[in-house]
Amino acid sequence: KQEVTQIPAALSVPEGENLVLNCSFTDSAIYNLQWFRQDPGKGLTSLLLIQSSQREQTSGRLNASLDKSSGRSTLYIAASQPGDSATYLCAVLGQGAQKLVFGQGTRLTINP
């Protein structure tokens, strides 16, 4: 059974800093991995999707990496801004599976 873990559970940093969020998964047989953002009381916004054959994906100040063999992914946020404050969730789609397995999320707070 796939399990996804995110560390840390919460993170607070001053504005302008670069930061890394971590995601690990127990079964390396994945189809893809996705990072989402969730604002309080809102739905999910997809940030980046990495296919199993890819090593990383970039969008603006965000960079996500994937090391399938070690079961790890990182989300790097450059030059953080208060507007980046949200909960970040990673989720994996197993090979042949329909359903996503989510991590517990990291609550990020960027202090002005």
Give the interface with other proteins as residue ranges (CB under 8 A).
31-32, 36, 41-46, 49, 89, 93, 98-100, 102-105, 107
Classify strands 30-38 and 62-67 as parallel, antiparallel or unpaired: unpaired
Q: Which two tokens stand for residue 3?
A: 């399990």
CB of 88 to other proteins, least distance (A): 11
Q: Quick one: 69 or 98, whose CB is closer to other proteins?
A: 98
Q: What string of DSSP letters covers 60-106?
A: TTEEEEEETTTTEEEEEE-S--GGG-EEEEEEEEETT--SEEE---E
CB of 100 to other proteins, least distance (A): 6
Q: Quick one: 90 or 110, whose CB is closer to other proteins?
A: 90
